[in-house]
């Protein structure tokens, strides 16, 4: 299997599926073709655990670089082989801007590197020296630099079995004959899942979810917008759930937040605690679903991941809001909308007639028969009429005055007692 990209949730899922496939097909050996500059520490640690728990030998062929998290994963393998000109080391934990992370992260990485090296009978001090520039090892490392071995140096200090040019050469050195190499590749469905584990794509899906819900309420019964929203919701949740990031409580929190927002918009007048709680729960759950956190413990979640998840969630919500305000009017002008909604003008010159009774009600007063938020029904002289306000909320039973009409719907305003 290849580890030739950033170590992140997508790579973690790829490695897990690779090892599951190797176990299912009863492979005798697993060889990792490695070329990476590292990535997310928590995902790398889970990959290490998967490799250490695998029952058959796991070898790594460092084809170019095994830096940072790549070095950690390499040390977890039973044997390390390197190509000429390859390197391994430089495992200092860094933040998104490239600066060294706080010491608690370095301490955690030192501990993992040391214990992993010990488990595979490699010098733990060297593994620790790949992380901590303060470590001093006679004839190997001075203070002020972290260890990065060339191929020959790695062989000299027990961090590489041999210099090789190919995987076939590794098999030959181990006297393996009559073999068949199977290169693990993700299926089409798994490639789609990996694609949607991208925070940028997640932000676009959030925008589609909000836009779909809004446009469905604008044209009830259309079904296409709400269908698109449901598909976007599945594409957002399923990849993170399958990868172990989206926990049950995070998904439940998301749905509670959405329900509170819908209740605020369509049931509860005004905008208060329910709306704020809905926005907060929705936003927080969208962010947490994308992070490898342990409940609300973010101790070993990189700051860069938190920032990317926050931007994706906030960007999606902000984009959805802008879509509602500026895209709603333009939607009615699209060809797609005209196919599912009546947009023709029924002019009297063409023989159409209109009920003018509603115009005669202008200036009359009555009471709100239902809550107007901003549309609903009003009661005037014993008759119930459809009505809408200029945007304000009017409680059931409050006095109203008809100030205009739009078709057969009355435009009303609240009247002070």
Among 326, 348, 416, 415, smallest CA distance to 378 is for 415
pLDDT tier at 327 (50, 70, 90 boundaries)? low
Among 1, 38, 39, smallest CA distance to 17 is for 1
- Looking at per-residue pLDDT, the higher value among 14 and 223 belongs to 14
Buried b (16+ CB within 10 A) or exposed e, 190-223: beebbebbbbeebbbbbbbbbbbbbbbeeeeeee
How does the average pLDDT of the chain come out, rounded? 81
The confidence score (pLDDT) of residue 343 equals 52
Q: Model's pTM, two decimal places?
A: 0.62
Enumerate residues 6+ apart whose C-beta is below 8 A from 217: 266
d(C-alpha 362, C-alpha 347), whole Å? 22
The confidence score (pLDDT) of residue 230 equals 84
Sketch the domain layout of the chain as residue ranges: 2-173, 188-340, 348-414
- Looking at per-residue pLDDT, the higher value among 118 and 279 belongs to 118
Q: Which of 26-35, 182-191, 273-282, 366-375 has the lowest mean pLDDT?
A: 273-282
If you average pLDDT over each of 220-224, 287-291, 318-322, 364-368, which comes out highest?
364-368
Mean pLDDT computed over 36-55: 92
The confidence score (pLDDT) of residue 283 equals 80
pLDDT tens across 359-387, in order?
678 888 999 988 887 778 899 988 888 88
The confidence score (pLDDT) of residue 334 equals 57
pLDDT tier at 118 (50, 70, 90 boundaries)? very high
Which position has the token pair 């446009």? 215
pLDDT tens across 165-186, in order?
999 999 999 999 999 999 999 8
The confidence score (pLDDT) of residue 307 equals 77
Mean pLDDT computed over 98-107: 79
pLDDT tier at 333 (50, 70, 90 boundaries)? low
If you average pLDDT over each of 248-257, 297-306, 313-322, which comes out highest?
248-257
d(C-alpha 25, C-alpha 20), whole Å? 9
- Looking at per-residue pLDDT, the higher value among 207 and 151 belongs to 151
Evaluate whether 11 touches 39 at the Cβ level (below 8 Å).
yes
Q: For 2-173, give the CATH class.
A: alpha beta
- Quote the percentage of the chain above a pLDDT of 70: 79
Q: Which of 150-164, 200-214, 288-302 has the lowest mean pLDDT?
A: 288-302
Greatest CA span in the chain, whole angstroms? Answer: 100
Is the per-residue pLDDT at 3 higher than 90? yes
Q: Provide the CATH number for the domain formed by 348-414 in this structure.
A: 2.40.50.140
The confidence score (pLDDT) of residue 370 equals 85
The token pair that represents 171 in the structure block: 């098999």
Examine residue 414 and say whether the peptide bond preceding it is cis (omega within 30 degrees of 0). Answer: no
Enumerate residues 6+ apart whose C-beta is below 8 A from 139: none
pLDDT tens across 256-274, in order?
887 887 777 666 655 567 7
Mean pLDDT computed over 199-222: 69
If you average pLDDT over each of 15-19, 37-41, 129-133, 310-314, which comes out highest?
15-19
The confidence score (pLDDT) of residue 321 equals 61
- Looking at per-residue pLDDT, the higher value among 394 and 30 belongs to 30
Q: Residue 150 to residues 22, 83, 131: CA-CA distances in angstroms?
A: 30, 10, 16
d(C-alpha 119, C-alpha 54), whole Å? 14
The confidence score (pLDDT) of residue 219 equals 57
The confidence score (pLDDT) of residue 394 equals 84
The confidence score (pLDDT) of residue 141 equals 78
Q: Please tell me the total number of residues recorded for the chain in this structure.
A: 417
Is the per-residue pLDDT at 65 higher than 80? yes
- 3-state secondary structure (DSSP) of residue 255: helix
pLDDT tens across 282-302, in order?
788 877 877 776 666 666 666
pLDDT tier at 277 (50, 70, 90 boundaries)? confident
The confidence score (pLDDT) of residue 338 equals 54
Is the per-residue pLDDT at 227 higher than 60? yes
d(C-alpha 226, C-alpha 215), whole Å? 8
pLDDT tier at 76 (50, 70, 90 boundaries)? very high
The confidence score (pLDDT) of residue 152 equals 95
């Amino acid at each position: 299997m290849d580890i030739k990209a950033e170590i992140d949730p997508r790579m973690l899922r790829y490695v897990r599926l690779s090892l599951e496939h190797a176990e299912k097909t009863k492979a005798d050996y697993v060889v990792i073709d490695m070329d990476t500059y590292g990535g997310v520490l928590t995902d790398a640690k889970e990959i290490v655990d998967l490799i250490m728990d695998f029952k058959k030998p796991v070898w790594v062929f460092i084809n170019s670089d095994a830096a940072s998290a790549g070095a950690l994963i390499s040390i977890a393998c039973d044997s390390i082989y390197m190509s000429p000109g390859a390197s391994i080391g430089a495992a200092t934990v860094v933040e998104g801007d490239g600066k060294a992370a706080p010491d608690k992260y370095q301490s955690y990485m030192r501990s993992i590197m040391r214990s992993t090296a010990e488990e595979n009978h490699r010098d733990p001090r060297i593994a620790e020296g790949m992380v901590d520039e303060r470590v001093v090892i006679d004839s190997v490392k001075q203070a002020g630099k972290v260890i990065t071995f060339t191929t020959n140096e790695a062989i000299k200090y027990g961090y590489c079995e041999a210099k090789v040019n190919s995987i076939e050469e590794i098999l030959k050195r181990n006297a393996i004959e009559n073999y068949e190499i199977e290169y693990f590749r993700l299926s089409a469905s798994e490639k789609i899942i990996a694609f949607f584990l991208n925070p940028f794509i997640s932000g676009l899906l959030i925008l589609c979810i909000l836009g779909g819900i809004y446009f469905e309420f604008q044209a009830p019964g259309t079904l296409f917008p709400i269908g698109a929203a449901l598909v976007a919701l599945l594409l957002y949740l399923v990849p993170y759930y399958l990868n172990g990031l989206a926990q049950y409580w995070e998904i439940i929190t998301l749905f509670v937040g959405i329900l509170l927002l819908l209740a605020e918009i369509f049931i509860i007048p005004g905008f208060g605690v329910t709306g704020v709680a809905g926005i907060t729960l929705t936003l927080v759950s969208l962010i947490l679903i994308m992070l490898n956190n342990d409940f609300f413990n973010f101790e070993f979640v990189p700051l860069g991941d938190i920032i990317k998840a926050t931007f994706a969630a906030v960007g999606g919500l902000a984009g959805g809001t802008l879509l509602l305000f500026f895209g709603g009017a333009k939607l009615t002008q699209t060809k797609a909308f005209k196919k599912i909604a009546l947009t023709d003008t029924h002019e009297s010159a063409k023989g159409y007639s209109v009920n003018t009774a509603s115009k005669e009600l202008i200036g009359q007063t009555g009471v709100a028969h239902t809550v107007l938020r901003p549309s609903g029904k009003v009661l005037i002289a014993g008759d119930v009429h459809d009505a809408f306000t200029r945007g304000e909320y009017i409680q059931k039973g409050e006095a109203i005055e008809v100030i205009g009409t739009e078709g057969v719907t009355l435009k009303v305003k609240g009247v002070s007692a």
